[in-house]
């Protein structure tokens, strides 16, 4: 039954693309693409929400405009090599493949920013998460924001209040922040992003029992205390790393969150409102799904006036049109 619903919803998504392009073959193609690229789904989601400056996450300064997809050129410094992004963002070739087919079937119609937003939604759906309607019609930026990428994205070791203020600055609420953080129910973090946590307050937040001890010792073997092994990865939700569910919040209740910023949502002394929300979503997956969907729409609707006026539909997501 569950599968049936998901298929129906996926078909519905394809149809909405058909309306744009009027090619049913294209719809099938998109379905096929999203089926064969499951291995990189997480990257797509992360990319659409961790885009430092130009994109779908308004922990992002300039709006949902595909700027993160731009490559470096002589005249443009892209965001991919910013310290927060390097080694973290992947999946660009999938966007290229989708874009190429869209351009060959209906040129100049679907922006890269729209592709990325839809890809994030469908990646969530394909791993068991909720569906939501994605409003379309975004334009692509003609610039990128390397400096903003360096400074504006929340980081793993950033304090709770600082992260909250970044979300609020972008028009997102504390509730949006806690629900959107639930995306960490899938995907991986690199050692460089959880070292301070596992050699820091992990024991204090989780308490000691044999299972936790074993988990922590595994993490330490993946991520040694001194420099090195920076890119070794561990799942952020060790219970069901490939499933979009609410186990991420249950892990936080046990004090076993992998990265500091996640565990702070529950364990920080400032975590008054966020703690209640974590407990609510840990108990009620439907409440989490509903709020996540709503917050993702909000996130994806953040626009930037300059791109709205001067933006374009790029022919190639990696380069501004000439």
Shorter beta-carbon distance to ligand HEM: residue 29 or 299: 299
End-to-end CA separation in angstroms for the chain: 49
Shorter beta-carbon distance to ligand HEM: residue 114 or 264: 264
Smallest distance from ligand HEM to CB 232, Å: 10
Shorter beta-carbon distance to ligand HEM: residue 26 or 172: 172
Smallest distance from ligand HEM to CB 54, Å: 16
- The secondary structure of 105-163 as a DSSP string is HSTT-S-HHHHHHHHHHHHHHHTT-----------B-S---HHHHHHSS--TT--HHHH
Cβ-proximal residues to 276 (8 Å cutoff; 6+ apart), any chain:
none
Binding site for ligand HEM (CB under 6 A): 42-43, 45-46, 49-50, 57, 88, 154-156, 163, 177, 180-181, 183-184, 186-190, 193, 259, 261
Smallest distance from ligand HEM to CB 130, Å: 12
Residue in the shown chain whose Cβ atom is closest to ligand HEM: 187
Alpha-carbon radius of gyration of the chain: 19
CA atoms of 68 and 267, how far apart (whole Å): 32
Handedness of CA 52, 108, 93, 248 (dihedral sign): positive
Shorter beta-carbon distance to ligand HEM: residue 211 or 243: 243
Shorter beta-carbon distance to ligand HEM: residue 10 or 180: 180
Smallest distance from ligand HEM to CB 206, Å: 19
Closest of 260, 217, 237 to residue 127, by C-alpha: 237
- Return the SS3 of 189: strand
Smallest distance from ligand HEM to CB 233, Å: 7
């Amino acid at each position: 039954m569950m599968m049936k619903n998901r298929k129906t919803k996926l078909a519905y998504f394809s149809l909405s693309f058909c309306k744009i392009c009027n090619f049913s073959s294209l719809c099938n193609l998109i379905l096929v693409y999203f089926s064969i690229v499951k291995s990189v789904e997480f990257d797509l989601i992360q990319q659409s929400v961790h885009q430092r400056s130009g994109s779908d996450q308004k922990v992002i300064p300039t709006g949902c405009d595909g700027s993160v997809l731009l490559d470096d050129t002589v005249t443009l410094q892209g965001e991919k090599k910013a310290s927060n992004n390097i080694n973290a963002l992947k999946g660009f070739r999938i966007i290229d493949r989708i874009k190429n087919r869209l351009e060959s079937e209906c040129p100049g119609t679907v922006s890269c920013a729209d592709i990325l937003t839809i890809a994030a939604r469908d990646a969530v759906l394909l791993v068991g998460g909720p569906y939501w309607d994605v409003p379309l019609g975004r334009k692509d930026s003609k610039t990128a924001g390397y400096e903003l990428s360096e400074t504006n994205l929340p980081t793993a070791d950033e304090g709770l209040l600082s992260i909250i203020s970044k979300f609020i600055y972008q028009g997102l609420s504390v509730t949006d922040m806690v629900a959107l953080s639930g995306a960490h129910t899938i995907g991986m973090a690199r050692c460089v992003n959880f070292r301070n946590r596992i050699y820091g307050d992990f024991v204090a937040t989780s308490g000691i029992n044999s299972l936790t001890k074993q988990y922590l010792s595994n993490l330490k073997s993946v991520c040694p205390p001194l420099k090195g092994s920076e890119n070794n990865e561990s799942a952020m939700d060790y219970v069901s790393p490939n499933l979009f569910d609410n186990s991420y919040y249950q892990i936080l209740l046990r004090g076993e969150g992998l990265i500091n910023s996640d565990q702070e949502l529950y364990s920080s002394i400032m975590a008054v409102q966020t703690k209640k929300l974590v407990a609510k979503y840990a108990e009620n997956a439907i409440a989490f799904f509903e709020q996540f969907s709503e917050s993702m729409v909000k996130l994806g609707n953040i626009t930037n006036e300059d791109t709205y006026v001067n933006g374009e539909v790029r022919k190639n997501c990696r380069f501004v049109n000439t």
